[in-house]
Amino acid sequence: QVQLVESGGGLVQAGGSLRLSCAASGRTFSRYVMGWFRQAPGKEREFVAAISPSGGSTLYADSMKGRFTLSRDNAKNTVYLQMISLKPEDTAVYYCALRTRTYYGVIHYYNQADYDSWGQGTQVTVSS
C-alpha cells in the first residue's frame, strides 16, 4: 500500500507563500492521479487541486485558481503545492491524496471518495 507523507506546512502572514510537499512510497507513483484537500476547523474537508499522472493536466477549486499551483516530480515520487497570496481563510490542515484507479485521460476528481490513500496532513496557519 502506498504511503503519503506531507511536509512544508507552518505559520505565515497574510500575503505570504508556502510550498507543501507530499512524498509517496512505492514504484508506481507515476501512474496515479494525486490530489490535495484541506479541512478548516469546524468545516468539512474540501477539494483544493488535483494533477494527472504525467503532470500535464491540473484541476483547481475556484477559490484557489491563480494562487495555488500543483506540480509533480515523478522521479522523486513527490507532488508540490505552491501557495501564494495566502489569506487567513486558507488556514486548514492540508491533506495529500492518491487515486490508484485507472486514469482515463480526463481529470475530474473533486470528491474524497475518488481517492484511495491519504496522508496524515500538514497544518497551514495564515495570520492576519
pLDDT, one tens digit for every residue, the chain (128 residues): 789 999 999 999 999 999 999 999 977 899 999 999 999 999 999 999 999 999 999 999 999 999 999 999 999 999 999 999 999 999 999 999 999 998 888 889 999 999 999 999 999 999 99
83, amino acid identity = M
22 strand-pairing partners: 6, 79
The pLDDT value given to residue 26: 79
Sequence-distant (6+) residues with CB within 8 A of 56 are: none
Q: What are phi and psi of 40, to 5 degrees?
A: -90, 160
Sequence-distant (6+) residues with CB within 8 A of 104 are: none
The pLDDT value given to residue 93: 98
Between CA 101 and CA 116 the distance in angstroms is 8
Residue 9 gets the label, from left (phi > 0), alpha (psi -120 to 50) or beta, of beta
The pLDDT value given to residue 28: 86
